Structure 1
């Protein structure tokens, strides 16, 4: 009888393990527009595979219709979970309702879609940056840094926005605008999307230099580092010294931005971590065990610049010196 019980128990454990290994996870990514996005994709895909689950991955190539098609394909294929980050903020109600109707748990990362659902039961949890706070941090850093170097008068700013309608673009723009509204000396003199890409960042910065004149620009604020790095090339091509003639502020804190800060080409980057794979695995594992999670979780993030010590939030937290943290950057 004991041997029979042991065999039954072993079989039950084997079935449980097999069930865990049999999980299928669909992951629809917005595209590969930046170093940040590549790191995000690699981290999430690697974590899902290392957990022993089957991954069905789809690259939407920056098109909402591709993501809608991918989600519907996930439903048809009978996935157990969908990991979703929205290329734009709106227009998702119909396809996400289909996910809800099929009873597939939806794990949101990075970009949060706006919906007209009556409550928040349609998704399990969201993990990603606080985009309005990231934009506000950039604005506060600019204000405090310019004061620290004795700048007087207006601060003339060129802004490169991300992909129009993307959650990161909407949030970072809103947060930055809130700081500008409270500080009349901050003037946005040129404002255009660079679609989060290095190539468009360079092209739009070239246009800005021609439109308003280099001598009238104090600061470039780019809503991601790739656009900032592209803008640096345009500034150099115009015979100017980035980081000195024009202060350069980016967002994401990718390794290339740290290298640019250390080289003197860039002044500041606001962190937005792409490393979300461990959180995805934690959530799916927990959901399988019957756990629930907070609806919104933001990672702890910092701001990095040339020398450190510049306040960037209402709590008085100050920047860290980029050179001291370059070696630890994984992306």
Structure 2
């Protein structure tokens, strides 16, 4: 009888030691998959002792007003959600991102979120995270990996669609102009997801339209100073080669380009039609002044979505592989009504 009781106890211990939870993407170790309530986890010692979710976030930089708003949104949302945030800023350096991620692994954070500098080169570090049993959320920019199970979900804008929206506006805006429409393009960081996809979407819309031609295109780093300097280069060409349209991959570059256009004695928004992407307050103010014609929205306020995703993962729920925030396009006619609603 005694032997039977001990066998029963041993069986119960074995069963309790084999329990695990599934996020719908892969198995997560017990320490990251305990039940969650309002951002808290039940401690192994009992429900009375609670532990906060710890999120390690590798931000790619602080190159623009959009990025600053993105960081602030994540910081504010983590505080509201009761989630401990460990933030490391890579300042546009992928190796710094790798170093930050390894520090998160060493600290045994519950979840790692990454806003990648560029798309490529992520397989090895994501494999390290997977071996550590830590779920990954990709934020804002995507990663180009063969194995999509290396991350749980990607939260961010549809950059390709943003390029499509910009081109559609341009086509409609210039519909009464005859002859060839020349276009200058200010690209973002070379190799980054938004720069690649915003360019692809824009080009797809004009590939069968012989009257629209991109005659100048160069990376300007998503910065105001970069936009100003590259636009100066564009305007150093003979006057007959100056663009009729400027497509900037973000607002900061567009605002810098406005300064260069004015230096050249031209009127931004009139002599050169300007279309930008982001939707910052400063860009709306430029639209009100008539310097920028249209802005495609790219929402940086991803903090609430990120924190909700973290809670869902820690509760063992399945998330969609792709989460896209709602976004719009705004023109000069709408800028005055919308500017006060801009939170960034």
TM-score w.r.t. the length of structure 1 is 0.88
Check conservation: 2:234, 2:242, Cα contact below 8 A: no
Which of 174, 197, 202 is the equivalent residue of 1:146? 174
Q: In the TM superposition, what whole-angstrom CA distance separates every residue of 1:16-37 from its partner, at most 9, and x where no partner exists?
A: xx22x2x211110110010000
Q: Does residue 195 of structure 2 align to residue 161 of structure 1?
A: no
Report how many residues are paired: 300
- Match of 1:318? none
Aligned: 1:279 with 2:276: no
Q: Which residue of 293, 297, 313 corresponds with 1:267? A: 293
Aligned to 2:67: 37
Residues 173-214 of structure 1: CA deviation (Å, up to 9, x unaligned): 111111121211111111100010100000000000002537
In 1: Cα distance, 2:284 partner to 2:47 partner: 48
| Counterpart residue number, 1:330 | 343
> Which of 91, 98, 106 is the equivalent residue of 1:76?
106
> Deviations 1:141-191 (Å, cap 9, x if unpaired)?
1011111xx211111101000101001011111111111212111111111
Structure 1 residues 151-300: aligned runs within 5 Å: 151-213=177-239, 216-300=242-326
C-alpha separation between the residues in 1 aligned to 2:159 and 2:86? 28
- Report the secondary structure of 1:325's partner residue: helix
Matched position secondary structure for 1:285: helix
Q: Which one has the largest radius of gyration?
A: 2
Deviates more, 1:247-256 or 1:281-290: 281-290
Match of 2:164 in 1: 136
Q: Does 1:64 align with 2:94?
A: yes
Look up the match of 2:137: 107
Matched, 1:90 2:116: no
Query: What CA RMSD, in Å, does the superposition of the two structures yield over aligned residues?
Result: 1.3
CA contact (8 A) 2:164 2:205 kept: yes
Aligned residue in 2 for 1:4: none
Q: Contact 1:138–1:176 (CA<8 Å) still a contact in 2?
A: yes
3-state DSSP of counterpart to 2:48:
helix
Q: 1:173 to 1:256 in 2, by over 3 A?
A: same
Give the match's secondary structure for 1:151: coil
Which stretch shifts more, 47-56 or 71-80? 47-56
Following superposition, the deviation at residue 12 of structure 1 comes to 4.4
Structure 2 stretches of 5 or more lacking a match?
1-44
Alpha-carbon distance between aligned partners in 2 of 1:265 and 1:56, rounded to the nearest angstrom: 39
Q: Is the 8 A contact 1:189 1:212 kept in 2?
A: no
How much has 1:297 moved relative to structure 2?
1.5
- d(CA) in 2 for partners of 1:26, 1:212: 51
- Aligned counterparts of 2:219 and 2:130: Cα–Cα separation in 1: 34
Task: Kindly state the Cα deviation for residue 122 of structure 1 after the two structures are TM-superposed.
Answer: 1.6
Instruction: Answer yes or no: is the 8 Å Cα contact 1:26–1:83 preserved in 2.
Output: yes
| Number of the residue aligned with 1:6 | none
- Calculate the TM-score normalised by the size of structure 2: 0.85
Answer whether contact 1:85 1:111 (CA < 8 A) is retained.
yes
CA distance in 2, matches of 1:209, 1:275: 35
Distance 1:214 1:47 in 2: 50
Matched ranges for 1:295-314 at <5 A: 295-307=321-333
